[in-house]
Amino acid sequence: MFQTGPLGVVLSLGIVSKVVLLLLVCFSIASWAIIFYKLAVFRTADKKDRHFMTLLLRARDVEEVTRHAQQTMGSPCAKIFHAVIQRIGYIPTEVNENGSLAYDRHVMEKTAAHLAQGQIARLESFLPFLATTGNICPFVGLLGTVMGIIDAFREIGTQGTASIAAVAPGVSEALIATAAGLFAAIPAVVAYNYFLVRIRRAAMHMDSVVVELLALIPAQAKPVAPVPVGAKG
Protein backbone atom coordinates (compact mmCIF):
# COMPACT_ATOMS: atom_id res chain seq x y z
CA MET A 1 0.00 0.00 0.00
CA PHE A 2 1.52 3.30 -1.09
CA GLN A 3 1.68 5.88 1.68
CA THR A 4 2.01 9.63 1.37
CA GLY A 5 4.15 11.95 3.46
CA PRO A 6 7.90 11.63 4.18
CA LEU A 7 7.50 9.25 7.10
CA GLY A 8 4.92 7.13 5.31
CA VAL A 9 7.11 6.81 2.23
CA VAL A 10 10.11 5.77 4.32
CA LEU A 11 8.06 3.19 6.21
CA SER A 12 6.79 1.75 2.94
CA LEU A 13 10.31 1.07 1.64
CA GLY A 14 11.75 -2.41 1.50
CA ILE A 15 14.37 -3.58 3.99
CA VAL A 16 17.26 -3.09 1.55
CA SER A 17 16.12 0.42 0.66
CA LYS A 18 15.77 1.28 4.33
CA VAL A 19 19.32 0.10 5.06
CA VAL A 20 20.66 2.09 2.10
CA LEU A 21 18.72 5.17 3.18
CA LEU A 22 20.01 4.86 6.75
CA LEU A 23 23.58 4.56 5.47
CA LEU A 24 23.17 7.66 3.33
CA VAL A 25 21.68 9.62 6.23
CA CYS A 26 24.70 8.69 8.37
CA PHE A 27 27.06 9.85 5.60
CA SER A 28 25.12 13.10 5.25
CA ILE A 29 25.14 13.86 8.99
CA ALA A 30 28.86 13.12 9.27
CA SER A 31 29.60 15.26 6.20
CA TRP A 32 27.70 18.26 7.53
CA ALA A 33 29.42 17.91 10.91
CA ILE A 34 32.82 17.95 9.17
CA ILE A 35 31.79 20.90 6.99
CA PHE A 36 30.81 23.05 9.96
CA TYR A 37 33.92 22.00 11.90
CA LYS A 38 36.28 22.81 9.02
CA LEU A 39 34.56 26.13 8.40
CA ALA A 40 35.30 27.09 12.01
CA VAL A 41 38.90 25.88 11.72
CA PHE A 42 39.58 27.79 8.50
CA ARG A 43 37.85 30.92 9.77
CA THR A 44 40.05 30.96 12.90
CA ALA A 45 43.23 30.12 10.98
CA ASP A 46 42.60 32.80 8.33
CA LYS A 47 41.89 35.46 10.93
CA LYS A 48 45.06 34.72 12.88
CA ASP A 49 47.13 34.33 9.72
CA ARG A 50 46.08 37.78 8.50
CA HIS A 51 46.96 39.26 11.89
CA PHE A 52 50.35 37.56 11.95
CA MET A 53 51.18 38.46 8.35
CA THR A 54 50.42 42.11 9.09
CA LEU A 55 52.85 42.00 12.01
CA LEU A 56 55.46 40.16 9.95
CA LEU A 57 55.40 42.69 7.12
CA ARG A 58 55.80 45.55 9.59
CA ALA A 59 58.52 43.92 11.70
CA ARG A 60 62.13 45.05 11.60
CA ASP A 61 63.82 42.09 13.28
CA VAL A 62 63.27 38.44 14.05
CA GLU A 63 62.97 38.92 17.81
CA GLU A 64 59.96 41.18 17.40
CA VAL A 65 58.18 38.72 15.13
CA THR A 66 59.05 35.82 17.44
CA ARG A 67 57.30 37.51 20.34
CA HIS A 68 54.18 37.98 18.24
CA ALA A 69 54.41 34.41 16.90
CA GLN A 70 54.28 33.04 20.44
CA GLN A 71 51.09 35.02 21.06
CA THR A 72 49.32 33.86 17.88
CA MET A 73 50.10 30.17 17.86
CA GLY A 74 46.65 29.42 16.45
CA SER A 75 48.00 30.70 13.14
CA PRO A 76 49.64 28.08 10.87
CA CYS A 77 51.99 30.80 9.57
CA ALA A 78 53.01 31.74 13.12
CA LYS A 79 53.64 28.09 13.95
CA ILE A 80 55.94 27.71 10.96
CA PHE A 81 57.83 30.89 11.78
CA HIS A 82 58.26 29.93 15.43
CA ALA A 83 59.33 26.36 14.59
CA VAL A 84 61.91 27.53 12.03
CA ILE A 85 63.37 29.98 14.55
CA GLN A 86 63.62 27.20 17.12
CA ARG A 87 65.55 25.07 14.64
CA ILE A 88 67.93 27.76 13.48
CA GLY A 89 70.52 26.68 16.03
CA TYR A 90 70.65 23.27 14.36
CA ILE A 91 70.94 24.58 10.80
CA PRO A 92 74.47 24.50 9.35
CA THR A 93 76.03 27.94 9.07
CA GLU A 94 78.57 29.50 6.78
CA VAL A 95 80.79 32.57 6.96
CA ASN A 96 80.13 35.36 4.50
CA GLU A 97 82.87 37.34 2.79
CA ASN A 98 82.29 40.24 5.20
CA GLY A 99 83.03 38.00 8.16
CA SER A 100 79.45 37.63 9.39
CA LEU A 101 77.65 34.42 10.25
CA ALA A 102 74.82 33.52 7.87
CA TYR A 103 72.36 30.68 7.92
CA ASP A 104 72.16 28.13 5.15
CA ARG A 105 69.14 29.33 3.18
CA HIS A 106 68.68 26.05 1.36
CA VAL A 107 68.41 24.05 4.58
CA MET A 108 66.16 26.69 6.08
CA GLU A 109 63.82 26.53 3.08
CA LYS A 110 63.74 22.73 3.32
CA THR A 111 62.92 22.97 7.02
CA ALA A 112 60.14 25.49 6.41
CA ALA A 113 58.72 23.36 3.58
CA HIS A 114 58.65 20.32 5.86
CA LEU A 115 56.86 22.26 8.58
CA ALA A 116 54.43 23.71 6.04
CA GLN A 117 53.53 20.22 4.87
CA GLY A 118 52.66 19.32 8.45
CA GLN A 119 50.35 22.35 8.76
CA ILE A 120 48.73 21.60 5.40
CA ALA A 121 48.17 17.99 6.45
CA ARG A 122 46.41 19.26 9.58
CA LEU A 123 44.18 21.52 7.46
CA GLU A 124 43.42 18.58 5.16
CA SER A 125 42.17 16.40 8.00
CA PHE A 126 38.70 14.88 7.39
CA LEU A 127 38.69 16.09 3.78
CA PRO A 128 39.17 12.52 2.45
CA PHE A 129 35.86 11.62 4.09
CA LEU A 130 34.14 14.41 2.16
CA ALA A 131 35.74 13.19 -1.05
CA THR A 132 34.66 9.62 -0.30
CA THR A 133 31.11 10.78 0.46
CA GLY A 134 30.93 12.69 -2.82
CA ASN A 135 32.23 9.70 -4.77
CA ILE A 136 30.30 6.75 -3.36
CA CYS A 137 26.99 8.14 -2.11
CA PRO A 138 25.44 8.50 -5.60
CA PHE A 139 26.34 4.86 -6.29
CA VAL A 140 24.98 3.72 -2.93
CA GLY A 141 21.77 5.59 -3.73
CA LEU A 142 21.68 3.99 -7.17
CA LEU A 143 22.06 0.58 -5.54
CA GLY A 144 19.05 1.30 -3.36
CA THR A 145 17.09 2.43 -6.39
CA VAL A 146 17.93 -0.70 -8.36
CA MET A 147 16.94 -2.94 -5.45
CA GLY A 148 13.74 -0.95 -5.02
CA ILE A 149 12.83 -1.30 -8.70
CA ILE A 150 13.50 -5.04 -8.50
CA ASP A 151 11.06 -5.26 -5.60
CA ALA A 152 8.55 -3.14 -7.53
CA PHE A 153 8.66 -5.44 -10.55
CA ARG A 154 8.39 -8.48 -8.31
CA GLU A 155 5.25 -6.97 -6.83
CA ILE A 156 3.93 -6.32 -10.35
CA GLY A 157 4.49 -9.99 -11.17
CA THR A 158 2.69 -11.03 -8.02
CA GLN A 159 -0.31 -8.80 -8.76
CA GLY A 160 -0.34 -9.74 -12.43
CA THR A 161 -0.83 -6.18 -13.66
CA ALA A 162 1.48 -3.50 -15.12
CA SER A 163 -0.78 -0.49 -14.83
CA ILE A 164 0.55 2.92 -13.82
CA ALA A 165 -1.21 2.59 -10.50
CA ALA A 166 0.77 -0.56 -9.77
CA VAL A 167 4.14 0.60 -11.14
CA ALA A 168 4.34 4.24 -10.02
CA PRO A 169 4.37 3.73 -6.22
CA GLY A 170 7.22 1.21 -6.31
CA VAL A 171 9.32 3.25 -8.73
CA SER A 172 8.80 6.48 -6.80
CA GLU A 173 9.83 4.78 -3.57
CA ALA A 174 12.92 3.34 -5.24
CA LEU A 175 14.00 6.76 -6.52
CA ILE A 176 14.11 8.08 -2.96
CA ALA A 177 17.46 6.32 -2.51
CA THR A 178 18.93 8.12 -5.53
CA ALA A 179 17.68 11.46 -4.23
CA ALA A 180 19.18 10.71 -0.80
CA GLY A 181 22.51 9.80 -2.40
CA LEU A 182 22.65 13.07 -4.31
CA PHE A 183 21.57 15.01 -1.23
CA ALA A 184 24.53 13.56 0.67
CA ALA A 185 27.06 13.82 -2.18
CA ILE A 186 26.48 17.32 -3.58
CA PRO A 187 27.25 19.31 -0.38
CA ALA A 188 30.28 17.09 0.28
CA VAL A 189 31.74 17.73 -3.19
CA VAL A 190 31.09 21.48 -3.02
CA ALA A 191 32.63 21.71 0.45
CA TYR A 192 35.63 19.58 -0.56
CA ASN A 193 36.47 21.83 -3.52
CA TYR A 194 35.92 24.96 -1.42
CA PHE A 195 38.28 23.72 1.29
CA LEU A 196 40.92 22.86 -1.31
CA VAL A 197 40.87 26.50 -2.42
CA ARG A 198 41.25 27.62 1.20
CA ILE A 199 44.20 25.25 1.66
CA ARG A 200 45.93 26.63 -1.45
CA ARG A 201 45.48 30.13 -0.04
CA ALA A 202 46.95 29.04 3.30
CA ALA A 203 49.91 27.45 1.48
CA MET A 204 50.58 30.76 -0.30
CA HIS A 205 50.62 32.54 3.06
CA MET A 206 53.10 29.98 4.39
CA ASP A 207 55.36 30.57 1.39
CA SER A 208 55.19 34.30 2.13
CA VAL A 209 56.34 33.61 5.69
CA VAL A 210 59.45 31.85 4.39
CA VAL A 211 60.23 34.71 2.01
CA GLU A 212 59.85 37.32 4.75
CA LEU A 213 61.90 35.24 7.19
CA LEU A 214 64.75 34.93 4.70
CA ALA A 215 64.62 38.71 4.27
CA LEU A 216 64.91 39.25 8.03
CA ILE A 217 67.55 36.65 8.83
CA PRO A 218 70.61 38.45 7.32
CA ALA A 219 70.00 41.41 9.61
CA GLN A 220 70.31 39.03 12.53
CA ALA A 221 73.63 37.54 11.47
CA LYS A 222 76.14 37.75 14.29
CA PRO A 223 79.62 39.01 13.47
CA VAL A 224 82.45 36.59 13.94
CA ALA A 225 86.18 37.19 14.21
CA PRO A 226 87.86 37.15 10.79
CA VAL A 227 89.95 34.07 10.11
CA PRO A 228 93.67 34.99 9.83
CA VAL A 229 95.20 34.32 6.45
CA GLY A 230 97.20 31.11 6.51
CA ALA A 231 95.64 29.92 9.77
CA LYS A 232 95.17 26.19 10.09
CA GLY A 233 91.71 24.73 10.83
Mean pLDDT, residues 148-177 taken together:
71
Cα dihedral across residues 68, 73, 78, 83: positive or negative: positive
- Sequence-ordered strand ranges (E) for 59-204: 93-95, 101-103
In a domain, 106, yes or no: yes
Residue 207, burial from CB neighbour count under 10 angstroms (0-12, 13-18, 19+): middle
Residue 26 above 60 pLDDT?
A: yes
Q: Taking the CB of residue 167, how many other CB atoms lie within 10 A of it?
A: 16
Mean pLDDT, residues 36-46 taken together:
91
In a domain, 168, yes or no: no
In a domain, 225, yes or no: no
Residue 227 above 70 pLDDT?
A: no
How far apart are alpha carbons 204 and 116 in whole angstroms? 10
| Nearest Cα to Cα of residue 101 among 214, 210, 230, 226 | 226
Confidence at residue 186, expressed as pLDDT on a 0 to 100 scale = 95
pLDDT tens digit string along 120-147? 888 889 999 999 999 999 999 888 888 7
In a domain, 158, yes or no: no
- Greatest alpha-carbon pair distance for the chain in Å reads 107
User: Alpha carbon 85 to chain centroid distance?
Assistant: 26
Total domains, the chain: 1
- Lowest mean pLDDT across 2-11, 18-27, 143-152, 203-212: 2-11
Residue 119, burial from CB neighbour count under 10 angstroms (0-12, 13-18, 19+): buried
In a domain, 72, yes or no: yes
At 152, is the pLDDT very low, low, confident or very high (cuts 50, 70, 90)?
Answer: confident
Cα dihedral across residues 46, 194, 41, 78: positive or negative: negative
Kind plus residue range of the DSSP H or E element containing 159? helix 127-159
Q: Which residues contact 144 (CB under 8 A, 6 or more apart)?
A: 16, 17, 20, 21, 24, 174, 176, 177, 178, 180, 181
In a domain, 129, yes or no: yes
What is the SS3 assignment for 125? coil
In a domain, 131, yes or no: yes
**Greatest mean pLDDT among 5-19, 169-183, 189-203:** 189-203
In a domain, 226, yes or no: no
Per the structure, the complete domain to which residue 22 belongs is given by 17-143+178-220
At 112, is the pLDDT very low, low, confident or very high (cuts 50, 70, 90)?
Answer: confident
